[in-house]
Structure 1
Amino acid sequence: MDAEKTINPPSGYAAFTLFLILLAVTIAALAFEQIAVGVICGTIDFVLVLPGLVIVNPNESKVLTLFGKYVGTVKQDGFFWVNPFTVKKKISLRAFNLNGQQLKVNDKVGNPIEIAAVIVWQIKDTANAVFAVENYLQYVNIQSEAAVRHLANSFPYDNIEDENATITLRGGAEQVSVLLEKELNERLDRAGIEVLEARISHLAYAPEIAHTMLQRQQASAIISARRLIVEGAVGMVEMALARLSEKNIVNLDEERKAAMVSNLLVVLCGDRSVNPVVNTGTLYH
């Protein structure tokens, strides 16, 4: 298929003026019983002049074909006159918004997930959009669904099961959007379509595993939080022992240090309020 060819036909105002003149001549000829002149003028007017008038609205185009051959595309908005025997197909150049349906697919590690994408696209080559594919709207829908499925199969949902993953569907939204846009442009280039933006609009675990995966995420978050708390508590205990030793406030043997460390860790790492206990004796009695 040849690439798009933009044409600039003559203004339609001159042709429309000619149409009015021929129409007046036809009416006058018939009124004065000049049948032959009236028929000739009427035929020229309604067969050659009027059918060639076309109006192209802003952000629209007219794809012209003559006896099965592609003539060109009128992209400039306005009032024009073209060959009256051409077939004129209107193609919108506006941006389209595709809100994809939710798809149930498996991610890279096999977890069933639900995913959907919002895609903004427009036609950049009207010739390919009309002649290279059967139905460019249907083509966009099918190829977009295929691209989203392929994307979901290529990356894990998160790092829980694949800790080495550099890009995840949940955590790498920007990278995933760039990759989705790139793949869509490659798939839709055949139809002369350009993807302006593509983003994941819905992402979740499938209902049958959602509760289990939520518990797993909560457990992982608790473990991470506990690890951070313990690391902080150990640092505070080290600092406390060092300051006590530096200030010579009290001399502690190893057993007293162990007891102090145990008490401090209980206080710092516990998830409940601690009730103080006053020890009036010693550790040995």
Structure 2
Amino acid sequence: MSQNGPHQEREFYSFNGYVVALFGVLLLGLLGWMGYNIVQQQFGTPSLFQILVGAAMVVVAWFCFSGLYMLQPNSSYVLTLFGQYAGTDRSEGPRWALPFYRRRPLSLRARNLNTPTLKVNDRRGNPIEIGAAIVWRVEDTAQAVFEVDSFENYVSVQAEAALRHLASLYNYDEGDEGDAKAVTLRGNIDDVAHALQRELQARFAPAGVEAVDAKLTHLAYAPEIAQVMLRRQQAEAIISARQKIVQGAVSMVEEALHSLSNRGIVDLDTERKAALVSNLLVVLCSDRETQPIINTGSHVAGC
């Protein structure tokens, strides 16, 4: 960081390259015409003044052509003069500046960074694998060039650090003790992506880099616990399904008893209601098809 604080980008006012190039061509044409006339001895032996004028025209023409440079759309040149920052030129097309300026090209286009798959621990300490795709671009060219040694390497290292820190803030998935509304890596992809983008922006700011977008591209348990966690997810799914089946069965039994009682189809005492409820729950909650047992009565007809 400089003594006056971090470098901030400022505009460099360059000249139109077409005008300067045309002026240089005219100088060369005039110089050629003068040389031709001297060869033809129309001016006789060239005087010292003519020699000095010709030399000056050569120097000016060299200045005209050596100071030309071309700027493509979404690109820039960072210019320094004897080690001091002079400004950033973001104009398009042919431009001209004094040849004494040192020009460093810098792209302003959006770039992609696909982080390698990282093995980290989530908030509970479970080892997981995580990766992300990050879109970034240079926003302040002066900070990108003068505040960090290599802004491309800086972005790569800070992106990995941000991803590791993000994984430690959230659980991979909901647990038995967790809040159902808590943000998780697997269940809240958009919220996690926004959090990652905010952290990347904070880390990239010293280098004058903008985090345009960030999305998780890989998220999984580490191989050593993947099978255990898969069985746990299957068990949680079975328990959840069982709970819904039981709730539905209880509602159906309650409705059946209520209908039988209101319509007066059969008068059931407490013991028979308990038996009916037990049988209905077995039928409705069983995983297998039930085999009915037909009750023919307590007395058998005469043989």
* TM-score bucket (shorter structure): over 0.9
Residue 244 (structure 2) aligns with: 228
Using the alignment, how far apart are the partners of 2:122 and 2:176 within structure 1? 11
Letter in structure 2 aligned against 1:146:
A
Q: Does 2:183 match 1:167?
A: yes
Q: Displacement of 1:237 after TM fit? A: 0.6
Q: Displacement of 1:40 after TM fit? A: 3.5
Residue 101 (structure 1) aligns with: 116
Matches within 5 A, 1:73-152: 73-152=88-167
| Unaligned ranges ≥5, structure 2 | 1-5, 40-45
> Hey, which bits of structure 1, 4+ residues long, moved more than 3 A?
25-40
Using the alignment, how far apart are the partners of 1:139 and 1:53 within structure 2? 32
Q: Does 2:262 match 1:246?
A: yes
Question: Kindly tell me: are residues 267 and 29 of structure 1, through their superposed partners in 2, closer, same or farther at Cα, counting changes over 3 Å?
Answer: same
Tell me the number of residue pairs that the alignment of Structure 1 and Structure 2 aligns: 282
Q: Displacement of 1:132 after TM fit? A: 0.7
Query: Under a length normalisation based on structure 1, what TM-score does the superposition of the two structures give?
Result: 0.93
Using the alignment, how far apart are the partners of 1:144 and 1:113 within structure 2? 17
Using the alignment, how far apart are the partners of 2:22 and 2:9 within structure 1? 31
Q: Displacement of 1:233 after TM fit? A: 0.5
Q: Displacement of 1:89 after TM fit? A: 1.0
Using the alignment, how far apart are the partners of 1:4 and 1:220 within structure 2? 55
> Which of 74, 83, 106 lines up with 1:59 in the alignment?
74
Letter in structure 1 aligned against 2:122:
D
Using the alignment, how far apart are the partners of 2:135 and 2:177 within structure 1? 31
Q: Does 2:29 match 1:24?
A: yes
Any conservation in 1 of the 2:7–2:146 contact (CA below 8 Å)? Answer: no
Q: Displacement of 1:36 after TM fit? A: 5.2
Using the alignment, how far apart are the partners of 1:276 and 1:38 within structure 2? 117
Q: Does 2:151 match 1:154?
A: no
Any conservation in 2 of the 1:9–1:82 contact (CA below 8 Å)? Answer: yes
Q: Displacement of 1:282 after TM fit? A: 4.4
SS at match of 1:196: strand
Using the alignment, how far apart are the partners of 2:177 and 2:137 within structure 1? 37
Q: Deviations over 1:12-45 (max 9, x none)?
A: 1111012112223444455536665544432332
Identical-pair percentage: 49
Which is higher, the Rg of structure 1 or of structure 2?
2
Using the alignment, how far apart are the partners of 1:68 and 1:139 within structure 2? 23
Residue 85 (structure 2) aligns with: 70
Residue 182 (structure 1) aligns with: 198
Using the alignment, how far apart are the partners of 1:139 and 1:188 within structure 2? 8
Query: Under a length normalisation based on structure 2, what TM-score does the superposition of the two structures give?
Result: 0.88
Residue 10 (structure 1) aligns with: 15
Using the alignment, how far apart are the partners of 1:282 and 1:85 within structure 2? 115
Letter in structure 2 aligned against 1:128:
Q
Any conservation in 2 of the 1:156–1:162 contact (CA below 8 Å)? Answer: no
> Which has the larger displacement, 213-222 or 21-30?
21-30
> Which of 261, 271, 277 lines up with 2:287 in the alignment?
271
| Unaligned ranges ≥5, structure 1 | none
Using the alignment, how far apart are the partners of 1:231 and 1:181 within structure 2? 43
Q: Displacement of 1:224 after TM fit? A: 0.7
SS at match of 1:50: helix
